[in-house]
Structure 1
């Protein structure tokens, strides 16, 4: 049961932790733990930041795909 939950979150984590880990050269698990612990301390504000980052990274990925399609004639 716990393995299924972990697999679900790893599959649908939207790549925010991976992106931040690569950007700041940190461990992805430390970033995830930071979001979890800070969510308990700050009453959910980091969750709002996380979903905002998901939205921004999604738009960024979409724009990169469009940009490469325009110039690939």
Structure 2
């Protein structure tokens, strides 16, 4: 059975999962670091989180729109 945090992450943005996969950390540790950093810096990592989500969605959209030589 999936944990609630995994379900929310997959259904919302997936940034923590993507960062964890890219950096080789567990998803849980990346999520916890965002939460702890938000508490200690009064929420500024939330702005970075949304900027990362925006960038990730732009890259995904660019990949889907890009046509290849074989698409005619």
Shift of 1:8: 6.2
Structure showing the higher helix proportion among its residues: 1
Take 2:51 and 2:62, find their aligned partners in 1: how far apart are those partners? 17
Structure 1 spans left out of the alignment, 5+ residues? none
So what's the TM-score if we normalise by structure 2? 0.82
So what's the TM-score if we normalise by structure 1? 0.81
Structure 2 spans left out of the alignment, 5+ residues? none
Asked whether 1:48 is paired with 2:47, we answer yes
Number of equivalent positions: 67
